[in-house]
Amino acid sequence: MGRSIRLGMLAIMGSLAFANISVAAPQLCAPLPSPLFPPENWWNQDITWAPVDSNSDAFIYFLNRFGTVRTAMVLGGDVAGYYPEIWGFPYAVVDGWQPRVAVNIEYWNGSDGVNQQTGEPYPFYPIPDEAIYQAHWIQSGWPGVVDVRYDHDRHMIIVDRDNNHLFELFNVWFDEYSWQWYAKAGAFWDMNSNDIRPDGWGGADESGLAILPGILRYEEVYGPDEIQHALRVSVPSSNGYVFPATLGFQETPGALPLGARLRLKDYVDISGYPWEVQKVFRALKKYGFIVSTLADSGLVGLGTYDSRWQMDVLIPGLSSLTAWDFEVIQLGWR
């Protein structure tokens, strides 16, 4: 089924109202299957034996050109004393009957949920009403009705658990006077497939990659199984893009392209770290980082919004690596 037909059917289904259907209450950061997407998806590929890129050393030297770059992981619960701000990345889980709403999207050319000829939005995103006035449903913690887009990225992630669909929005807010949602960009993924976004299309991340599958989740770290996917990472600068990314505006000679994969070198000794930090580092050796967006400095990963994170253990451990501990696998490797 073509992408436009599939998305059109989703919009039509979402716009129907069934009075006799019971809609389950949306949940914040509810546990999800791991990994997301099919096993052969780029997020879930074992890169243990993937070839090193011929320019790996040059890329790593470029990252460290102004001094040694360290890793960092942004995760956690509430920011103490700054309610409703939060550290970690929230996501909403809804059922298949969650009503769809239209979102007015600024960068509509290349976003989902809008007419690609006119930019006109249609009911498409299953945003729960709780996100309008309640805190913590949107990145940074502020409710949708509070417009702090110029101070925060304001991503919003929604999982339709019944259909295994993923919706992501960037710089989102709700205008209570017009009673409408607004965002800068929006994207949809069918997590039952390995469909890639059209070349030249972004998403809630500039790279066109989904955000959620690269976020570290509490149940993955503290559950019985190994982490089974790559982690999303941001870098200070980039140079174009390679598979699996579909977009990259910045062109800084010498920098990594969006979509590049970094692998923690096999000889890096992780035995002295706490067990949960070792678990994350094993994932970085097996699945690596995927460069997905830009940050002010460092190699910055993301974890979920969850007050149960052992911050005093995880943050020091996950921030102890440097860019020198990584190698770049062959660009565009599949």
Are the C-beta atoms of 241 and 257 separated by less than 8 Å? yes
Same domain as 322, residue 220:
yes
In eight-state DSSP terms, residue 26 is P
Same domain as 202, residue 299:
no
Same domain as 276, residue 179:
no
Give the sheet arrangement for strand 299-305, strand by strand: 71-76, 299-305, 231-235, 289-294, 261-264, 326-328
Chosen domain end from 210, 242, 268 = 210
For residue 19, with 0-12 CB atoms within 10 Å meaning exposed, 13-18 middle and 19 or more buried, which class applies?
A: exposed
Chosen domain end from 165, 191, 210 = 210
For residues 305 and 160, give the distance between their C-alpha atoms in angstroms, rounded to a whole number: 19
In tens, the pLDDT along 153-188 reads 999 999 999 999 999 999 999 999 999 999 999 999
Closest listed residue to residue 154, CA positions, set 185, 114, 111: 185
Are the C-beta atoms of 169 and 203 separated by less than 8 Å? no
Instruction: Return all residues near 272 (Cβ < 8 A) that are at least 6 apart.
Output: none
- Is the pLDDT score of 3 beyond 60? no
**What is the total count of domains within the chain?**
2
16 pLDDT band (50/70/90 cuts)? very low
At CA 44, angle to CA 255 and CA 274, rounded to 5?
85
Same domain as 217, residue 206:
no
Same domain as 220, residue 184:
no
Query: Which residue type occupies 283?
Result: A
* pLDDT in the model for residue 15: 44
- Is the pLDDT score of 233 beyond 70? yes
Length of the chain: 334
Same domain as 160, residue 21:
yes
Radius of gyration of the chain measured on its C-alpha atoms = 19
In tens, the pLDDT along 79-92 reads 998 999 999 999 99
Q: What is the mean pLDDT of residues 270-284?
A: 98
Q: Residue 48 corresponds to which tokens in the numbers above?
A: 């243990």
- Is the pLDDT score of 14 beyond 70? no
| Torsional sign, CA 116, 251, 214, 28 | negative
Same domain as 286, residue 153:
no
What phi, psi does 166 have (nearest 5°)? -125, 130
Q: What is the mean pLDDT of residues 245-260?
A: 97
Instruction: Return all residues near 94 (Cβ < 8 A) that are at least 6 apart.
Output: 24, 26, 27, 126, 128, 158, 159, 160, 161
Q: How far does the chain reach from its first CA to its final CA, in angstroms?
A: 24
Percent of the residues in the chain that have a pLDDT greater than 90, as a whole number:
89
Average pLDDT across the chain, whole number: 93
In tens, the pLDDT along 105-126 reads 999 999 999 999 999 999 999 9
In eight-state DSSP terms, residue 304 is E
Same domain as 6, residue 107:
yes
Same domain as 232, residue 186:
no
Same domain as 130, residue 148:
yes
197 pLDDT band (50/70/90 cuts)? very high
* pLDDT in the model for residue 230: 98
Q: Residue 88 corresponds to which tokens in the numbers above?
A: 């970690």
Are the C-beta atoms of 104 and 92 separated by less than 8 Å? no
For residues 78 and 83, give the distance between their C-alpha atoms in angstroms, rounded to a whole number: 7
Same domain as 151, residue 271:
no
For residues 183 and 307, give the distance between their C-alpha atoms in angstroms, rounded to a whole number: 28
* pLDDT in the model for residue 146: 95
For residues 248 and 290, give the distance between their C-alpha atoms in angstroms, rounded to a whole number: 14
Instruction: Return all residues near 179 (Cβ < 8 A) that are at least 6 apart.
Output: none
Same domain as 156, residue 12:
yes
> DSSP per residue over 220-251, as a string?
HHHSSSPP-S-EEEEES--BSB-TT------B
Are the C-beta atoms of 210 and 35 separated by less than 8 Å? no
Chosen domain end from 210, 242, 265 = 210
Q: What is the mean pLDDT of residues 16-39?
A: 78
Structural domain span for residue 189: 1-30+91-210
In tens, the pLDDT along 29-81 reads 999 999 999 999 999 999 999 999 999 999 999 999 999 999 999 999 999 98
